[in-house]
Amino acid sequence: MRITEMSRVTGASTDEIRYMEKKGFLAPAGTRLKQRRVRDYPEGDTRKVRLIIKYRRQGFTWDMAFKKATGDLQNPQLFEE
């Protein structure tokens, strides 16, 4: 999934997604599209990005939001309804 689609699906801005990538929270694959290189994010990163943004909107720092999101992702029963 490209960065614009990731932004649309998660509610994070493209700048926020780029920042998460710079911090090492995301590791998209690089793909060639015609003559330019584009980011290709795995579908599984959408939940992580949503959680990080949720915690950021609650006032947590980037690092703490990532830590909390990672903890939530390791506890799959949180997502069961």
Q: Is the pLDDT of residue 79 over 90?
A: no
DSSP the chain: --HHHHHHHH---HHHHHHHHHHTS--PEEEEETTEEEEE--TTHHHHHHHHHHHHHTT--HHHHHHHHHHHHT-GGGG--
Can you give the pTM of this predicted structure?
A: 0.83
How far, in Å, CA of 1 to CA of 20, rounded? 16
Reported as a single tens digit per residue, the pLDDT across 8-46 is 999 999 999 999 999 999 999 887 778 888 888 998 899
| Domain edges within the chain | 3-74
Domain 3-74 sits in CATH at 1.10.1660.10
Residue 36 CB coordination number (10 Å): 7
